[in-house]
Amino acid sequence: MKVVNHRTPSVDGLGIMKGRKAYTDDFAEKDSLIIKVLRSPHAFAKIKTIDDESAKALDGIEMILTYKDFKRNAFTRAGQGYPEPSPHDKFVLDEYVRYVGDEVLAVVGTSDDICQKAMDLIKVEYEVLEPVLDFEKALDHKVLVHPEDDIHEMFDIGFDPKRNKAASYHMEIGDVKKVLDSCKYTISETFYTQAQAHVMLEPHTVNARIDYQERLVLYSSTQTPFHIRRIISQALEIPLSKIRVIKPRVGGGFGGKQAIHGEMLVAYVTYITGKASKMVYTRKEVFESSYTRHPMKLEISLGADEKGMLKAIDAHVLSDTGAYGEHALTVYMVAGSKVLPLYNKVDAVRFYGDVVYTNHTPAGAYRGYGAIQGNFALESAVDILCKKMKMDPIKFRELNMMKEKETSPIFAIMGEGTEGTAMNMETCKLEECVSRGKELIHWDDIYPHIDDGDKIRSVGMAIAMQGSGIPLIDMGSASIKLNDDGFYNLMVGATEIGQGSDTVLSQIAAEVLKTSVDKVIIYSSDTDLTPFDVGAYASSTTFVSGNAVYRAADELKSMMLKEVARIFECDKDDIDFDGERFYYKDKKISLIDFSNEITYSEAQKQLQATSSYVGPKSPPPFMAGFVEVEFDKETAEMKVLNYVSVVDCGTTINPMLAKGQVDGAIVQGLGMAMFEDVKYSKNGKLISGDMLNYKIPTRLDIKKLTTEFVDSYEESGPFGAKSVGEIGIDTPPAAIANAVENAFGIRIKSLPITAEKILNKKWEIENEKK
Amino acid sequence: MTEIKFTLNGKKQILNTDPNRRLLDVIREDFQLTGPKEGCGEGECGACAVLLNGQIVNSCSVPLANVDGQDIVTIEGFSSTKQYHVIKEAFAKAGGVQCGFCTPGMIIATQSLLSENPHPDDYEIKIGLSGNLCRCTGYNLIIKAVKTASKDGDGLW
């Protein structure tokens, strides 16, 4: 391969570095109306009255929008395919406000200052209600987060708002209780994972104008432009044909931009007034009024026989979706479906529980999407079981984990919101990942720890899997055309959000057409100009959209050969094409001459191919994560000395970008494992609402990352590729927890794992001994 | 309204405007320069970094009044220099760019660091760039990029 599996620089890197106009706000019209949202100071309240007369009278205030301006069309902002597996439980604006930061009303004016002035003049009288803030007490609480009757589910997801339930799920294979009872070794442990904030550097941003065809044109920093178009159309009753959504360069998403944020208000204001408008979230709004990762409580029971074979897994999970149910069921299910198959030799497995509403910032999609929560619990529990059995945790995994060509019945049972799809692991190099990782971290030299006097160094590990798109639901498509002078335009619905998909997809097309990346001009994510794609989520782009690009390029190549065959008067299968020239016996024609001829001659013809792809399966990438941690014995202060990731993601289309994905995900995972924590006050107000109080890893927190890819070729992927966007985030929480255990014999079962928690636990144990 | 004079990317400018406006807004709105970006508006993330008399500052935290008589260079101005060329090549080679929102600020920080310390070690790079947050990368590639720039551009700083 000449292009694929090479470190091609990003197709857009140079322009981005220079600061060229690229991101959503760079395209806002100069005199856009500014939209500002007045946000709820209460965790739960009903709006009694709004006095906005003096605000409306201000010079420069265009309009003030309240719930009374909108028809009550319940929708979900989740940004998923249709029908969504998330409840339709949100209105553009509502008379109830359900968390501190929820939307009360919108002020539209000519400047930030005037909007602020207007907001200061508006008087809102609330009936303050008792909020539900503890997710363990939410189910059947006397207070209902969603008391209204005009909300609904699109199909059965266990939605029961009268019990504060956004969704629920239950599955069991075999008889878990019976198998557990027959096991020689059993453990039962409860784990907690916290809310994590995405903290993408570019805040949520959207702007709109009406074009000369009287159509609504939105620029949006989104991961899902086609879903945005559909959801706006449905909720605001604007014909789909009247809306165009363009996604420019996106400054990071990580799942946070899968959902709708300011799009609904911006679309409405411009559609009604005919004037351009824009909305840029403040950093406080990004923290307080967008989304977090779903916090979960996971009760895990494991049972093994005397030989160390895992026989049963029981997982009772409670998830907190906050005030609205975006991604409630699907994130929940992934906590099982992309974790439990790791141990596929069990006789029985159960996964069940509820997703509840509370009066906190809603939870939504976030890289890892449930798998990181499930992984922390299961991979911690496995080490606890090993300790009880006095068995080496790596040996246990080697014995029990998924192997190549094997399967798990879970794939057929658990999909995302629906049933799943049966599949065999055509590629699963977990064994290589584990043995290589063990070598790279010098496991045998350190395990369980080395006592350095004041310091103690230990190692910990975990294995993980993810998916590659949602089978039979996610579609990607691509269109590719040949231009005169022999270069190509590649149009894809796939959504570049900084992960490098424009580069990777260009590489796939270039490889098929035997050309170089600079001859493939990519344009992505414009609902008018590019074919449909579900967007950037579920680790789908390289695999799903990549397959579509592969097919489209292959089809175009076939069209080109057909035309050349006409010129050569031969069979198209007899022609050789090396990317620059076509050959048949002694005849040859260059691609440039050929493309010019079919552009400027009687035989004029535009060659263009469009193709799409829906995966019949979702081949999981796998990885093993190993960490070496140094602890200060007295203070328990932790330093991650080295994080080793050995990944099976099939072929790396671009090894440099693939490494970037894994490294970046590891650092986000370490943040979640060690200090990131969305914190609320007792009355539900966010405390960690800025970058000072919500710490993300900086350069100083990262010592060494060692990332390697094992040889792997997934037949169903483009040039053998699987996905790599999410897998990296899953292992750090469990690996760190296991390293703490290996250092001190202390088990921390709630995230983040801080020095404070370790010390408290240490003292607790010491006091018990006394 | 106050008259404020400053140099922006080598060109003298006179503005008659509110001196309390943030330098970032003036750069983006009055000069349509899109390199400096607002990531947090709190001086925490460094996406809005520019050079003020050759030193890095977060333009979201600088009132326009403070730049009266001073010299400001944004990524747009800096990108015509030899130093930029070396840094750019190093970032591209290392793959230090993902979403790119932090990148112009990161390059400004690199310039500010190298102009003070042309041969920083790993730790000095980490300290020098610690005011610029990145949520996409594992930072290693960026550190590698700064080291490459320091080596390839030896003598420029």
Domain with A249 in it: what CATH number?
A: 3.90.1170.50
Q: Is residue A77 part of a domain?
A: yes
Both B25 and B45 in one domain: the answer is: yes
Residue A598, domain member (yes or no): yes
φ and ψ of B33, to 5 deg: -95, 125
CA angle A667, A364, A701 (to 5 degrees): 15
Contact A201 B44 (CB under 8 A): no
Residues A716, A745 share a domain:
yes
Strands A705-709 and A638-648: parallel
- Alpha helices by DSSP H, listed for B2-46, are 23-25
- Tokens at A478, concatenated: 């691509």
Give the domain CATH number at A713: 3.30.365.10
Residue of A nearest to B141 (CA): A660
Q: Give a yes or no: residue A271 inside a domain.
A: yes
Boundary-marking domain end, from A249, A280, A311? A280
Shared domain check, A450 and A337: yes
CATH code where residue B11 lies: 3.10.20.30
Residue appearing with tokens 């453990």: A187
- Name, in order, each residue with C-beta under 8 angstroms of A661's C-beta and a sequence gap of 6 or more: A499, A500, A724, A725, A728
Dihedral sign of CA atoms A146, A147, A150, A154 in order: positive
Residue B35 lies in a domain: yes
Q: Can you read off the two tokens belonging to residue A648?
A: 């099976």
Q: Same domain for A402 and A268?
A: no
Comparing alpha-carbon positions, the chain B residue that sits nearest to A693 is B44
Dihedral over Cα of B143, B149, B151, B154: its sign: negative
Can you give the CATH number for the domain in which B132 is found?
1.10.150.120
Cβ within 8 Å of A, B 60-99: 74-76, 79, 88, 91-93, 95, 97-99
Tell whether B59 and B95 lie within a shared domain.
no
Co-location of B107 and B141 in the same domain: yes
Choosing from A583, A614, A645, the residue where a domain stops is A614
Tell me which of B76, B99, B129 is where a domain ends.
B76
Task: Find out whether A348 and A175 touch, Cβ atoms under 8 Å.
Answer: yes
State whether B14 and B65 are in the same domain: yes
Cα distances (Å, whole numbers) of residue B2 to B67, B68, B131: 13, 10, 31
Last residue of a domain, one of A233, A249, A280: A280
pLDDT at A52: 97
* Angle (deg, nearest 10), helices A546-568 and A591-599: 80
Asked if omega into A718 is within 30° of 0 (cis), the reply is: no
The predicted structure's pLDDT at residue B94: 85
Same domain for A423 and A340?
Answer: yes
DSSP conformation class of A132: -
> Nearest residue on chain A to B78, judged by CA atoms?
A18
The three-class DSSP label of residue A191 is strand
| Residue B157 maps to a domain | no
Q: Please report whether residue A328 resides in a domain.
A: yes
Q: Which residues of B touch A204 (CB under 8 A)?
A: none
- What does each C-alpha distance from A9 to A19, A52, A723 come to in angstroms? 17, 53, 19
Distance, CA of A735 to CA of A679 (rounded, Å): 24
Q: How far apart are CA B40 and CA B30, in angstroms?
A: 20
Residue B96 lies in a domain: yes
How confident is the model at residue B16, as a pLDDT? 96
Same domain, B64 and B130: no
A609 shares a domain with A591: yes
CB spacing of A498 vs B47 below 8 angstroms? no
Asked whether residue A561 is assigned to any structural domain, the reply reads: yes
Nearest Cα residue to A189 out of A298, A88, A269, A107:
A298
Residue A706 bridge partners (DSSP): A644
Pair of tokens at residue A629? 């941690």
Domain boundary among B53, B76, B99: B76
Residues B23, B70, single domain; the answer is: yes
Range of the domain at A545: 475-614
User: Domain check: are B13 and B53 in the same one?
Assistant: yes
DSSP result, A396-417: HHHHHS--TT---THHHH--SS
Same-domain pairing of B65 and B130: no
Domain limit, last residue, from B46, B76, B106? B76
The answer to whether residues A702 and A742 belong to one domain is yes
A135's tokens? 């997710």
Number of Cβ pairs closer than 8 Å across A and B?
A: 163
Distances (CA, A) of A582 to A1, A480, A554, A692: 19, 19, 16, 61
Q: What is the pLDDT of residue A661?
A: 96
Dist CA A344 CA A428 (whole Å): 13
Q: A765: which 2 tokens?
A: 């144990």
> Is A17 close to B135, i.e. CB distance below 8 A?
no
A439-481, pLDDT tens digit by residue? 999 999 999 999 999 999 999 999 999 999 999 998 999 999 9
Q: Which amino acid is at A141?
A: H
- Both tokens of A254, joined, read 């990580």
The Cα B132–Cα A217 span in angstroms is 33
What are the φ and ψ backbone dihedral angles of A103, each rounded to 5 degrees? -80, 125
Measured distance CA(A139)–CA(A164) in Å, rounded: 6
pLDDT of residue A454: 96
Structure tokens, B106? 């990161």
> How do B2-8 and B71-73 pair as beta strands?
parallel
CB within 8 Å of B76: residues ≥ 6 apart: A18, A19, B9, B33, B35
pLDDT number for residue A175 = 98
State residue B3 phi and psi, 5-degree precision. -85, 125
Answer whether residue A174 is part of any domain. no
Q: Which residue from B42, B95, B101 is facing A201, i.e. has the nearest CB?
A: B101
Eight-state DSSP code of residue A13: H
Please indicate, yes or no, whether residues A260 and A339 belong to a single structural domain of this protein: no
Choose the mutation target among A6, A24, A201, A691 for the interface with B, i.e. most B CBs under 10 Å. Answer: A201
Whether the CB of B139 is below 8 Å from some CB of chain A: the reply is: yes
Q: What is the number of structural domains in chain B?
A: 2
Residues B46 and B91 both lie in one domain: no
Which residues 34-53 in chain A show a CB within 8 A of chain B? none
Shared domain for B103 and B54, answered yes or no, is no
pLDDT of A555 reads 98
A486: contact with B, CB 8 A cutoff: no
In a domain, A6, yes or no: no
State the angle between helix axes of A371-389 and A655-674 in degrees (0 to 180), rounded to the nearest 10: 70
Q: Are strands A310-322 and A61-65 parallel, antiparallel or unpaired?
A: unpaired
- Asked if B52 and B104 sit in the same domain, the reply is no
**Residue A713 and residue A628 share a domain:** yes
For residues A589 and A564, the answer to whether their CB atoms sit within 8 Å is yes
Q: What's the rounded Cα separation, in Å, for the pair A231 and A238?
A: 10
Residues of B in contact with A254 (CB under 8 A): 135
For the sheet with A216-220, list strands across it: A61-65, A103-109, A33-39, A277-280, A205-210, A216-220, A243-246
| Cβ count near A606 (within 10 Å) | 10
* Claim: this prediction has a pTM higher than 0.95: yes
Domain tally for chain A?
3
Provide the residue range defining the domain that includes B15: 2-76
Q: Is A689 on the interface with B (CB under 8 A)?
A: no
Same structural domain, A688 and A762: yes
| A176 inside domain | no
Gap between the Cα atoms of B90 and A415, Å rounded = 43
Residue A580 and residue A665 share a domain: no
Q: Do A500 and B141 touch (CB under 8 A)?
A: no
Q: Mark whether B10 and B70 lie in a shared domain.
A: yes
Please give the single-letter amino acid code of residue A581: R
Low-confidence ranges of chain A (pLDDT < 70): none
Tell me what pLDDT residue A306 has. 97
- At CA A747, angle to CA A741 and CA A733, rounded to 5? 80
Retrieve residue A651's tokens. 């072929």
Q: Which residues contact B151 (CB under 8 A, 6 or more apart)?
A: none
How many Å apart are CA A656 and CA A665, to the nearest integer? 14
Which residues of chain B does A700 touch, with a Cβ-Cβ cutoff of 8 Å? 126-127, 130
Asked if A644 is an interface residue toward chain B (Cβ–Cβ < 8 A), one would say no
Tell me, yes or no, if B136 comes closer than 8 A to chain A by beta carbon. Answer: yes
In sequence order, the 6+-apart residues with CB closer than 8 A to the CB of A105 are A37, A38, A50, A52, A64, A65, A66, A67, A93, A122, A124
Residues of B in contact with A702 (CB under 8 A): 138-140
pLDDT of residue A66: 98
In whole angstroms, what separates CA A681 from the centre of its chain?
28
- Whether residues A397 and A445 fall in one domain: yes
Contact B129 A699 (CB under 8 A): yes
Query: What pLDDT score was predicted for residue B96?
Result: 78
d(CA B121, CA B131): 17
